[in-house]
Structure 1
């Protein structure tokens, strides 16, 4: 599991930051990519990464402000032109369906694949299968806006081969059944419970990706014990009134969410174009780290790998 920041700016594109989009790569887990928001030129940003549009399985839209959705029609069309034929599911606030259908109809864009659009009308779990579930809560923004909590389900522990050998059970098809936790009867009459021969379960990872928001309790609930929290930090520490009036957060407010949620790592994104110099960025990072030490400032094309065993994250440019 790893993610790419495709755009880390707020409102309008800047020279060093495009508008918002984040790709969560689940190639080993489900051979797919999940996209969170799709600001203008997201498909251009993808060209600078290993991401393949046809691998995008789901798109989650936090809210319908232009800097989070204007790249969507182009990406959907390009995915079709580039050979994408597998179904695609899109989740977003009410109005998502009208926006997509009108954009495709008026531009005469015909897709070679099926799209399913789920408009989020209630908080709670919006997706679940054998490996993951995704839950949402409404945040505090000027229009309906959601935060997403992506939870990987725990994996069974490693099969204790040495213990099986000590019990006189040689390798064979029976190992596969025991690995699944099944109870098996041996030829000699013994009953083996697979759970007795498994190590401790491997804890699943938790990633929280929030849309634009004021500081709020919903953010803390979504980020509880997260291995990685992505929170907007549109404004600097001293701009509390500005952040409040425009329904955004400061660096310190984002850090406070991470601290209260006991998250492991915090990545700040959605940075205002007023902060463009290296000195500005160091200031933003310093402000947040005074409240939550494990804070990092996201940049376009930053790749963050999230390891399962220790919940450890490693960043690469």
Structure 2
């Protein structure tokens, strides 16, 4: 699972940070979460490409959606034919339609708008789901959790061959699929040669939000939590007024959820040149890895039982 941070600024872009956008590649599927102004240029600059079929909008504030019209128009210029789906909070369909309309012409390919409520499965794939969950941002808003299914346990070929005398072949596939097989007059149960199910990965993207129990629940055991970390402690009152989180509050949610890693995004321009302050305050309460990704940073998220390590690649070292 590869996560590319296309836009990490708050409501106002800077020369170094674009408004909110997150690209996720999972086993060939490419998903886009939020699409702030200039996202299509970020996609070109950081090599994610335009091969996406699903866009997930957390809410309709401009810094999260103003890149949609331009991206759809570019896809049209590129002679796209297959449909694209835009997922947005319930009650916002007309606003999504109005967002697309100013380009002058509707795209020649189908644009499907799906409204989602907290608890809905926005996208159901064979090996994972994208689920919407409640956030607190004083508007119609949701967060999204990409949750992979459990994977099959490891097949113990040595035991199958040496203890039960089963040669390689179709019986291995049946056992690994959970079906008992007959061999030399004995019924071999799959649990005798297949280990316990292995956990999948969980990626959680909050969009803009106050710290809430619904976010904590969605982020339980998350391999990566991407959380609103707009403000430092010194502007905690401003965070409450604008329905955002401080870096410390985001870290408290990550700690309570048992998340493994925390990425702080939607950073206020107040901290340009001193974003380290946000990371330092979050690290005081969260023992897992905390980082403030730059635009273009790539996080490779391994399976929980993998021998591979989490890897964060800076844009200037790719």
TM-score higher than 0.5: yes
Give, in whole Å, the separation in 1 of the partners of 2:291 and 2:71. Answer: 28
Q: 1:125 aligns with which of 121, 141, 166?
A: 121
Match of 1:72 in 2: 68
- Answering whether residue 279 of structure 2 is matched by residue 285 of structure 1, we say yes
Give, in whole Å, the separation in 2 of the partners of 1:192 and 1:169. Answer: 10
Number of residues of Structure 1 aligned to a counterpart in Structure 2: 310
TM-score normalised to structure 1 length: 0.91
Q: For 1:128-143, list aligned pairs within 5 A.
A: 128-143=124-139
Structure 1 residues 130 and 292, CA, compared in 2 at 3 Å: closer, same or farther? Answer: same
> Is the contact made by 2:132 and 2:142 (CA closer than 8 Å) also made in structure 1?
yes
Give, in whole Å, the separation in 2 of the partners of 1:271 and 1:216. Answer: 19
Match of 2:9 in 1: 9
Deviations 1:196-250 (A, max 9, x none): 3212322111111001112222221111111110111111111111111111111
Deviations 1:241-271 (A, max 9, x none): 1111111111111111111111111000000
> Is the contact made by 1:53 and 1:84 (CA closer than 8 Å) also made in structure 2?
no
Give, in whole Å, the separation in 2 of the partners of 1:75 and 1:99. Answer: 17
Q: For 1:166-205, list aligned pairs within 5 A.
A: 166=162, 167-186=164-183, 188-205=184-201
Gaps of at least 5 residues in structure 1 are none
TM-score normalised to structure 2 length: 0.91
CA drift of 1:106 comes to: 4.1
CA drift of 1:38 comes to: 0.4
> Is the contact made by 1:215 and 1:249 (CA closer than 8 Å) also made in structure 2?
yes
**What is the SS of the residue equivalent to 1:118?**
strand
Structure 1 residues 84 and 243, CA, compared in 2 at 3 Å: closer, same or farther? Answer: same
- Answering whether residue 211 of structure 2 is matched by residue 215 of structure 1, we say yes
Aligned alpha-carbon RMSD (Å) = 1.9
- Answering whether residue 291 of structure 2 is matched by residue 296 of structure 1, we say yes
- Answering whether residue 86 of structure 2 is matched by residue 90 of structure 1, we say yes
Gaps of at least 5 residues in structure 2 are none
- Answering whether residue 213 of structure 2 is matched by residue 225 of structure 1, we say no
Match of 1:165 in 2: 161
Give, in whole Å, the separation in 1 of the partners of 2:113 and 2:192. Answer: 44
